[in-house]
Amino acid sequence: MPRDNDLHLTDEEQAMLAGEAGPAVRKAMEIVTALAKIYGARHLVPVESAQVAGVSYKNLGDAGLQFLQEWADEGARVRVPAFLNPAGMDLQRWRELGIPEEFARFQMAVIAAFTRMGIAPSLTCTPYYVGLRPALGSHVAWSESSAVSFANSVLGARTNREGGPSALAAAIAGRTGAYGLHLDENRRATHIIEVRASVRSTADIGALGALAGELVRDGVPYFRGLDLRWTRRPEEALKALGAAMAASGAVGLYHVEGITPEAGLSDILPAGIPRFTIHDLSAGYQKLNGPLEEVDLVSLGCPHASLEELDEIARFLAGKQVRTRLWITTARQVREEAERAGIVAQIEAAGGQVVADTCVIVAPMELLSVRSLATNSAKAALYARSHSGLETRFGTTEQCLEAALTGRWR
């Protein structure tokens, strides 16, 4: 007997899997049920939204593009609101950024295939800045690792770390398997991280996350002693913490005592879990910094910048002129808000660029003759090295902007 009986499907789900809703839905259900079986789900759960990674042509290649076009041709349409992760370029200003014509053509074909499926080309890793904030306890299927961490940890929604195709399949099927972080028992802490180090900036938070992610790998850390009263925008600090841990480890959910919504649940801290104490952050800073002195590109906005972050950068740059390239990456919609508020004009007057729809991790940096990068993002520092072979400097937003003004890291 085939041992498929562990996963129970409703009559409607059986019909979808049998192809009664067409080949595109069948394929989506095949992916959803295969993963559900692999990870031991007993049933599926409806999802309220999807966030689909695997959008940049740099990562998809011809095979990925062909697959998306074929699925769209078969009639694939999303059943729930679905949002795209950043693409490989700013869709409007790619020429200015030096993106080759051929890359742009393939990238636009990718976006067209997704659009035919009914997916919003929001092109951001921060869908929570453009109106998608799932409620506490709601089930979603998100895939970009920092967005997954934010949805689970800060909003208390429930998602696994989906891959691009699996998040897309969940959007087309409207469901995902009830396993992993969808279940209460897997949302409990697996490690306690006692923070004794002084944490006073988003860079400190990133260094902390880089260390914690390495310690807990794919576990669920519970932070104790992490004080966020130094910032008026604690959500941005949490965004940076989650992004760092998702890059240095594979953390999809964390809790911060007194701050995140599930940290206070009575059974969140099982007895006897391992405990680590972090006394200082220098090892984290060391991991993210190379010996680099001259900087080609200063990159802020990983994950995508909020309107408030853009405003802060614009104020810093008032009356100044940058010497390096300066990219601040953000969602198209946030860029438009910043444009209306005059923030984009201020940054551009100083020689910086507010880049929408993309980021330094998924853009083809190897085609843009960038060799070295300074950033305030632990995630960008980690991935710029491993994905794009760039030298990196990592520090506070102010240090990065100073480097943009002088061309040198201090």
Partner 1 sequence: MAQELVFHGRIIKAGSAEGKALVSPTPISFLGGVDPDSGVIIEPGHPLEGTSAAGRILVFPTGKGSTVGSYTIYRMAKNGTAPAGIICAQSETIVAVGAIIAGIPMVDRIPIEQIATGDWVRIQDGTVYVRKSSAEPEKG
Catalog residues that contact partner 1 under the rule CB under 8 A. 1-4, 27, 30-31, 34-35, 37-38, 54, 59-64, 66-67, 163-166
Shortest Cβ 107–partner 1 spacing (Å) = 16
Q: Which is nearer to partner 1, 278 or 384 (CB)?
A: 384
Q: Which is nearer to partner 1, 72 or 192 (CB)?
A: 72
Q: Which is nearer to partner 1, 167 or 354 (CB)?
A: 167
Q: Which is nearer to partner 1, 38 or 136 (CB)?
A: 38
Shortest Cβ 3–partner 1 spacing (Å) = 5
Shortest Cβ 187–partner 1 spacing (Å) = 20
Q: Residue 256 forms beta bridges with which residues?
A: 223
Shortest Cβ 226–partner 1 spacing (Å) = 31
Rounded-to-integer distance, Cα 20 and Cα 303, Å: 40
Shortest Cβ 117–partner 1 spacing (Å) = 15
CA dihedral 335, 57, 53, 51 (to 10 degrees): 50
3-state helix, strand, coil split of the chain in percent (to 5) is 40, 15, 45
Rounded-to-integer distance, Cα 46 and Cα 186, Å: 19
* Amino acid in the structure at residue 48: E
Q: Which is nearer to partner 1, 31 or 347 (CB)?
A: 31
Shortest Cβ 301–partner 1 spacing (Å) = 24
Q: Which is nearer to partner 1, 129 or 179 (CB)?
A: 179
DSSP one-letter string for 1-70: --S-TTS---HHHHHHHTTTT-HHHHHHHHHHHHHHHHTT-SSEEE-S-EEE----HHHHHHHHHHHHHH
Q: Report, in angstroms and rounded to the nearest whole number, the Rg of the chain calculated over CA atoms.
A: 21
Residues in CB range of 187: below 8 A, 6 or more apart? 152, 158, 181, 220, 253, 262, 268
